[in-house]
């Protein structure tokens, strides 16, 4: 069947396009639910599910691989295309383009093809997607043509298929290397979605890249990270993922999408494998966002939001993480995903600005990103922010209430990450948490932040030792609060919290707030899903003048699972 389609493609449109002159991009139907799309530089045969026979520079870039498809909830549900049509066409700066919509019951996958462009802009419009967590578009390409993978954080050869030995598999998509020294896992190719510039798979003569200058259609906040490229362990295909609604490192993210929710447009770009060329193209695309040529009123209806965050103690909220998301939210910022989301950081004076924001109602959140406000344990929320087309919404000066209590100690900056701790923020690596000790003592005033390890996974005691000169000075404030901020948590581990031998709390696997996120056992070293806990107790009953201790006793564990730390604060 594949050979027949190839023959039809060659007859109708020329299976091997040339670059001798620009010609109009095209859509041709060549059979029942089979189409060929492209321009003078490339063409693709699109069937009911898979896009195959991607011809570029006299070469089939898909080969025996699966090709291009759209799916949700993992590989459980691939979209089936029932029709295709040109829904718009025009010219922009001298180049003709067509907008092709492939229609499925769940929605429309669009390819916007310009003459002279090696690649296409793509976007998806929801019509009837179910409540879901994972939604993606992707390429599975020929593994000899595309042997290398690149993200902002990693640039290296994809592991050879021969290294994936069945008897060496230790968990989901993770294998012990054949020599026993380290692991092979697709999760090492994860990156932060809101800072990525371009990524893809490439080789000596070919490169296939995703460039996503717009980030507002993604779910999650600043700390949203996703898998981007990998080797398909069953077939060896080079995989280029476009996780436009991902869940790989989250505790939960099931969202309902309104009819018309749009993801994109993003650019899928082909070249000769040059990273320099891809970077240059990405820079141009980011400068051009939002795209002038894109014909959609909701997309073009954009305004801006400005303001300044001032802490209640008078300090500016310097470098705070600022998030524009759901109005009156009932989810965390990381878990939001039904609508459109915007991220920014305040400057040294606490001022922030969001540009190119879709017109709608939003809620604004902020939290400490470390640095000068690393001691701020509270978060900020301001609802009912109206954004209108071509207007700036100036929120003025916003007061952010912070704790008035006195700190006894703080271990680690409050920034929702493990930065500063031993191994915190290290390059992605499976089982790095196993390098952290079973028992640890941190002495306030003597130990460095890096003496505390980024994750706790072994049965044992992690103790914070601190000195109180005189508890009687605080007789008007009997209550003491232990704040535990986790950068991530992977289930199967439980902890009892002690203060001077008295239990003051516990962190029990499976309880509300401690559902699993896969960060620690999927190569993450910086963050998963942020959690915040407060444990209050009476100072007179527990604390004393002189030496005191707070201990986290891990009483239940599971391999490579456990607690990823952000900050521990004791205050009264």
Separation in Å, CA 116 to CA 40, 96, 98, 99, 199? 7, 9, 12, 15, 22
Asked if pLDDT for residue 349 goes beyond 60, the answer is: yes
Query: What tokens does 245 get?
Result: 């609604």
**How do beta strands 229-231 and 238-245 pair?**
antiparallel
CA-wise closest residue to 544 among 408, 403, 442, 375: 408
Cβ proximity of 29 and 102 under 8 Å? no
Asked if pLDDT for residue 501 goes beyond 80, the answer is: yes
Instruction: Please give the pLDDT value at position 449.
Output: 98
Instruction: Please give the pLDDT value at position 233.
Output: 96
How far is it, in rounded angstroms, from Cα 495 to Cα 504? 11
How far is it, in rounded angstroms, from Cα 234 to Cα 184? 14
DSSP assignment of 519-564, as one string?
TGGGT-SS-SS-EEEEEEEEHHHH--SEEEEEEEEEEE--TT-EEE
**pLDDT (tens digit, 9 = 90+) per residue, 299-331?**
999 999 999 999 999 999 999 999 999 999 999
What is the DSSP-derived secondary structure letter of residue 159? P
- Topology of domain 2-299 in CATH is Beta-galactosidase; Chain A, domain 5 (2.70.98)
- Edge to edge, the sheet with strand 321-325 lists 342-345, 321-325, 360-367, 380-387
Instruction: Please give the pLDDT value at position 5.
Output: 40
**pLDDT (tens digit, 9 = 90+) per residue, 180-222?**
999 999 999 999 999 999 999 999 999 999 999 999 999 999 9
Cβ proximity of 238 and 142 under 8 Å? yes
CA-wise closest residue to 329 among 357, 306, 362, 354: 362
First to last CA, the chain: 73
What is the average pLDDT score of the chain? Answer: 94
Asked if pLDDT for residue 61 goes beyond 90, the answer is: yes
DSSP assignment of 400-436, as one string?
E----SPEEEEES-SSSS-TTSBTTTPSP-TTGGGGS
Q: What are phi and psi of 483, to 5 degrees?
A: -100, 125
Instruction: Please give the pLDDT value at position 74.
Output: 76
Cβ proximity of 544 and 538 under 8 Å? no
3 state DSSP class of 213: coil
How far is it, in rounded angstroms, from Cα 410 to Cα 416? 14
Instruction: Label residues 281-303 b or e (16+ Cβ within 10 Å = b).
Output: bbeebeeebbbebbeeeebeebb
Q: What are phi and psi of 414, to 5 degrees?
A: -85, 105
Q: What is the mean pLDDT of residues 377-398?
A: 98
Sequence spans of domains, the chain: 2-299, 301-400, 407-571
CA-wise closest residue to 505 among 477, 480, 536: 536
CA-wise closest residue to 497 among 445, 546, 568, 560: 568
CATH 2.60.120.280 assigned to 301-400: no
Instruction: Please give the pLDDT value at position 223.
Output: 98
Region of 142 please: left (phi>0), alpha (psi -120 to 50) or beta: beta
Q: What is the mean pLDDT of residues 153-172?
A: 97
Instruction: Please give the pLDDT value at position 477.
Output: 60
Q: Tell the residue number behind the tokens 């609604």, with chain if given.
A: 245
Separation in Å, CA 263 to CA 130, 189, 207, 337? 15, 22, 23, 11
Strand partners, 388: none
DSSP assignment of 335-367, as one string?
T--SS--EEEE--TTSEEEEEEEESEEEEEEEE
Instruction: Please give the pLDDT value at position 192.
Output: 98
Cβ proximity of 128 and 138 under 8 Å? no
Angle, CA of 166, 168 and 173, to the nearest 5°: 75
Asked if pLDDT for residue 345 goes beyond 50, the answer is: yes
Asked if pLDDT for residue 554 goes beyond 60, the answer is: yes
Question: What homologous superfamily does CATH list for 407-571?
Answer: Galactose-binding domain-like (2.60.120.260)
Separation in Å, CA 82 to CA 34, 48, 77, 496, 504? 10, 7, 15, 56, 60
Cβ proximity of 125 and 244 under 8 Å? no
Asked if pLDDT for residue 3 goes beyond 60, the answer is: no
How far is it, in rounded angstroms, from Cα 454 to Cα 423? 6
Strand partners, 262: 125
Cβ proximity of 532 and 403 under 8 Å? no
How far is it, in rounded angstroms, from Cα 331 to Cα 314? 29
**pLDDT (tens digit, 9 = 90+) per residue, 4-51?**
344 334 434 444 444 445 789 999 999 999 999 999 999 999 999 999
Q: Tell me what percent of the chain is helix, strand and coil, each rounded to the nearest 5.
A: 10, 45, 45
Instruction: Label residues 402-415 b or e (16+ Cβ within 10 Å = b).
Output: bbebeebbbbbbbb
Q: What is the mean pLDDT of residues 360-367?
A: 98
What percent of the chain is modeled with pLDDT above 70? 95
How far is it, in rounded angstroms, from Cα 116 to Cα 111? 15
3 state DSSP class of 509: coil
Instruction: Please give the pLDDT value at position 473.
Output: 57
User: What are the residues whose beta carbons fall under 8 Å from the beta carbon of 236, sequence distance 6 or more?
Assistant: 143, 161
């Amino acid at each position: 069947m594949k050979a027949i389609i190839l023959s039809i493609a060659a007859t109708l449109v020329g299976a091997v396009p040339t670059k001798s002159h620009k010609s109009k991009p095209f859509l041709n139907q060549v059979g029942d639910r089979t189409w060929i799309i492209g321009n003078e530089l490339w063409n693709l045969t699109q069937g009911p599910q898979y896009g195959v026979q991607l011809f570029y520079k006299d070469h089939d870039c898909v080969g025996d691989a699966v090709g291009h498809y759209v799916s949700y909830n993992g590989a459980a549900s691939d979209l089936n295309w029932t029709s295709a049509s040109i829904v718009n066409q025009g010219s922009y700066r001298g180049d003709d383009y067509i907008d092709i919509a492939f229609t499925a019951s769940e929605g429309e996958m669009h390819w916007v093809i310009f003459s002279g462009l090696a690649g296409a802009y793509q976007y998806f419009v929801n019509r009837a997607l179910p409540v879901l967590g994972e939604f993606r578009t992707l390429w599975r390409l020929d593994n000899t043509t595309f042997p290398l993978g690149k993200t902002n954080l990693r640039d290296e050869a994809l592991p050879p298929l021969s290294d994936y030995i069945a008897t060496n598999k230790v968990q989901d998509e993770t294998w012990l290397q054949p020599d026993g020294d380290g692991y092979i896992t697709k999760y090492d190719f994860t990156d932060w979605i809101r800072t990525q510039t371009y990524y893809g798979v490439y080789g000596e003569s070919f490169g296939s890249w995703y460039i996503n200058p717009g980030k507002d259609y993604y779910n999650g906040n600043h700390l949203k990270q996703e898998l981007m490229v990998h080797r398909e362990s069953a077939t060896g295909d080079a995989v280029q993922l476009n996780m436009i609604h991902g869940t790989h490192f989250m505790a939960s993210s099931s969202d309902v999408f309104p009819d018309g929710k749009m993801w994109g447009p993003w650019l899928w770009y082909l070249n000769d494998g040059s990273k320099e060329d891809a970077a240059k193209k990405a820079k141009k695309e980011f400068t051009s966002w939002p795209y002038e040529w894109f014909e959609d009123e909701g997309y073009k209806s954009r305004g801006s939001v400005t303001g300044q965050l001032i802490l209640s103690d008078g300090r500016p909220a310097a470098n705070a993480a600022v998030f524009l998301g759901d109005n009156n939210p009932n989810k965390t910022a990381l878990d939001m995903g039904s609508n459109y989301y915007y991220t920014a950081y305040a400057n040294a004076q606490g001022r922030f600005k969001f540009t190119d924001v879709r017109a709608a109602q939003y809620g604004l959140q902020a939290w400490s990103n470390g640095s000068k406000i690393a001691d701020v344990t509270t978060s900020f929320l301001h609802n009912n922010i109206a954004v209108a087309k071509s207007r700036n919404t100036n929120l003025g000066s916003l007061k952010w209430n912070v704790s008035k209590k006195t700190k006894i100690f703080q271990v680690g900056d409050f920034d929702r990450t493990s930065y500063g701790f031993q191994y915190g923020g290290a390059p992605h690596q499976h089982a790095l948490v196993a390098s952290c000790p079973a028992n640890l003592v941190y002495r306030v005033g003597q130990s460095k932040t890096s003496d505390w390890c980024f994750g706790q996974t072994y049965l044992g005691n992690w103790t914070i030792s601190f000195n109180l000169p005189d508890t009687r000075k605080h007789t008007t404030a009997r209550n003491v609060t232990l704040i535990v901020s986790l950068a991530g948590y992977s289930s199967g581990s439980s902890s009892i919290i002690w203060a001077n031998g008295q239990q003051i709390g516990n962190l029990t696997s499976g309880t509300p707030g401690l559902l699993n996120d896969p960060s620690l056992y999927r190569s993450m070293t910086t963050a998963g899903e942020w959690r915040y806990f407060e444990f209050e107790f009476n100072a007179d009953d527990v604390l004393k003048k002189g030496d005191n201790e707070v201990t986290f006793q891990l009483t239940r564990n599971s391999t490579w699972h456990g607690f990823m730390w952000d900050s521990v604060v004791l205050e009264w």
